[in-house]
Amino acid sequence: MEQEFIKELKINDILTLLPHRYPFLLVDKVGIIKEGEEGIGFKNITVNEPQFTGHFPENPIMPGVLIMEAMAQTCGLVVKDFVGGGNDKAVLFMGIDEAKFRKPFLPGDVMEMHVVKEKECRGVYRFKCQAKCNGVLHAEAILTALMSR
């Protein structure tokens, strides 16, 4: 099923909203489904990324911590696109709950980070996140972050 986006954030939009740069920028584009509430981030996983020289050369799999970071960056983009603030407002990780890794991501996969805001209170955001490839769930977590003022 094709998801309808009300807005798309391309790489130049992402670079304006997040301070992350290569090799730590882990989102290539984002489709906004509901402003400030829900979106899908996309990351094309390629074998020439630096993490694969050590994780693992003969069997390259995307490290779980980078999957969590990619989902967190997607959450940050959904929020920052809505509230504004560009790079002068930081989104800081506060917690990862209920993390589960079900299937590895491999080079050639397109990681789709589905994020939905569950709660927001005084700049603290809680998102339910799922990382999928071709509709198959690979990882999930509840992520909490703080937007600096």
User: Could you give the residue numbers annotated as active site?
Assistant: 55
Q: What is the pLDDT of residue 1?
A: 41
d(CA 140, CA 129): 5
pTM for the whole structure: 0.95
Q: Looking at residue 16, what is its pLDDT?
A: 94
Burial environment of residue 80 by CB neighbours within 10 A (0 to 12, 13 to 18, 19 or more): buried
Please report, in tens digits, the pLDDT of each residue of the chain (149 residues total): 457 999 999 999 999 999 999 999 999 999 999 999 999 999 999 999 999 999 999 999 999 999 999 999 999 999 999 988 666 778 899 999 999 999 999 999 999 999 999 999 999 999 999 999 999 999 999 999 998 87
